[in-house]
Amino acid sequence: MDLELLRELCETGGVPGREERVAKLVYATLRGHVDSLETDPIGNVIAYRKGSGGPKLMLAGHMDEIGFIVTHVDENGFLRFNPLGGFDPKTLTAQRVVVHTASGDLPGVMGSKPIHIMTEEERKQPPKLEDYFIDLGLSKEAVDEKVAVGDVVTRERAMVRIGSMINSKSLDNRAGLFVMLEAVRRLATMGHTVELYAVATVQEELGLRGAQVAASRIQPQIGIGLDTTIANDVPGAQPHEAVCKLGAGAGIKIMDSSVVCDPRMVDLMRRTAQRYSIPHQMEILPRGGTDTAAMQRFGQGAITGCISIPSRYVHSVIEMISEHDLAAAVDLLVAVVADAHTLLA
Ligand SMILES: [Zn+2]
């Protein structure tokens, strides 16, 4: 696998509504491997590869990552912000960020009150998003000159190897996007029956917005989402609370809170994984949604499922996945796409 591509995808900023830098990487990766590449008005990148007369199959991997948007510059040059996507406030403590301005990217930190000067009451409370501000280390005048309300902010963190795992910000969902891109490049060398639409979607973290638009336009008969899911296989969690385990293989989604996957698709994924001895685990995620739901509900309604990449510490800057699970997800996606036309035979 091209893990340098995964690194580039993870380290490139792209909050919901501002995915253009990630879109550029998608173009660079797929150019020459597909029959057409276009960007729709909302910003989805739609890659199309001709099949041999089969049904339309749409893949959806979202490009956006959770981030922030600047709402206010205060009298001392500190920034206030709104979140774009779901944050656990405690994950903002002691983080570096990047503010994307018209004149270039600025490094900053998420400031908050030191524990030394917190009241007894404040120490007992979990942190709130409103407790944080962004400090650019610049004078009020310099900030006013460079930063505008509406500028977006991403978290700053490099991808590294930790033990046998991959650790980075934004593995949700650059890992899913990576699986889609790798699979499309591989499918391009082997051919397929389905009419293949690989869509790098926008604004998933704000409610599956890009995928709804793409599914309405493409009207796929079959849909496969690619996203991360939770691996809660850590100290303190009961075995029944794990959802998935890191290193135990690609996740085959049965349901999450946005979708009950089509049993025909779940069955095809499971049989395919068994047939090719691809490590896999069945996934039921109690809370959280994916683009899978948009493909099932929009357009004409599709036979839909999802291949998940298990991740520890989701929606933080230290998300952790297994390279082994990532490889299994690519293998499974390629094999399922190759056989997907049989769902409608
Ligand atoms: Zn996601």
Which CATH number is 79's domain given? 2.40.30.40
Please tell me whether residues 10 and 50 are part of one structural domain.
Answer: yes
**Alpha carbon distance 249, 84 (integer Å):** 30
Residues 6 or more apart whose Cβ sits within 8 Å of residue 215: 58, 60, 223, 294, 295, 297, 298, 299, 302
**Gap from CA of 20 to ligand 1 centroid (Å):** 17
> Is residue 58 within 8 Å of 72, Cβ to Cβ?
no
Please tell me whether residues 60 and 125 are part of one structural domain.
Answer: no
CA nearest to 307, candidates 335, 333, 325: 333
User: Domain boundary residue among 155, 184, 215?
Assistant: 155
**Gap from CA of 203 to ligand 1 centroid (Å):** 10
Residue-wise pLDDT tens digits, 225-239: 999 999 999 999 998
**Gap from CA of 314 to ligand 1 centroid (Å):** 9
Residues surrounding ion ligand 1 at CB below 5 Å:
172-173, 227
Whether residue 267 lies inside any domain: the answer is: yes
Please tell me whether residues 206 and 293 are part of one structural domain.
Answer: yes
**Gap from CA of 300 to ligand 1 centroid (Å):** 24
**Gap from CA of 150 to ligand 1 centroid (Å):** 23
Measure CA of the first residue to CA of the last residue in the chain; give whole Å. 33
**This prediction's pTM:** 0.96
Q: Please, what are the averages of pLDDT over each run of 10 residues along the chain (345 residues)?
A: 96 97 98 97 98 96 98 97 93 95 97 86 89 97 97 97 96 98 96 97 96 98 98 93 96 97 98 98 95 96 98 96 98 98 93
SS3 (DSSP) at 333? helix
Please tell me whether residues 56 and 194 are part of one structural domain.
Answer: yes
**Gap from CA of 171 to ligand 1 centroid (Å):** 8
Whether residue 160 lies inside any domain: the answer is: no
Please tell me whether residues 111 and 209 are part of one structural domain.
Answer: no
Please tell me whether residues 127 and 15 are part of one structural domain.
Answer: no
Strand 96-101, strand 152-155: pairing: antiparallel
User: Domain boundary residue among 155, 188, 223?
Assistant: 155
Please tell me whether residues 54 and 151 are part of one structural domain.
Answer: no
> Is residue 56 within 8 Å of 197, Cβ to Cβ?
yes
Please tell me whether residues 293 and 223 are part of one structural domain.
Answer: yes
The pLDDT, as a whole number, for residue 122 is 85
Which one of the listed residues 182, 204, 205, 283 is annotated catalytic? 204
Q: Is 156 a residue of the active site?
A: no
**Gap from CA of 307 to ligand 1 centroid (Å):** 12
**Gap from CA of 21 to ligand 1 centroid (Å):** 18
Question: To the nearest 10°, the Cα dihedral for 145, 146, 148, 151?
Answer: 180
**Gap from CA of 289 to ligand 1 centroid (Å):** 8
| Count of structural domains within the chain | 2
Whether residue 164 lies inside any domain: the answer is: no
**Gap from CA of 95 to ligand 1 centroid (Å):** 21
Give Cα 293 to chain centroid, integer Å.
Answer: 15
Please tell me whether residues 249 and 139 are part of one structural domain.
Answer: no
**Gap from CA of 259 to ligand 1 centroid (Å):** 14
Residues 6 or more apart whose Cβ sits within 8 Å of residue 271: none
Whether residue 278 lies inside any domain: the answer is: yes
Please tell me whether residues 212 and 299 are part of one structural domain.
Answer: yes
User: Domain boundary residue among 107, 131, 155?
Assistant: 155
Phi/psi for 74 (5° steps) reads: -85, 180
Please list the helix, strand and coil fractions of the chain in percent, rounded to the nearest 5, in that order: 35, 30, 35
Residue-wise pLDDT tens digits, 148-158: 999 999 999 99
Please tell me whether residues 280 and 174 are part of one structural domain.
Answer: yes
Residue 316, domain extent = 3-65+169-344
Please tell me whether residues 301 and 239 are part of one structural domain.
Answer: yes
**Alpha carbon distance 202, 215 (integer Å):** 13
CATH number at residue 193: 3.40.630.10
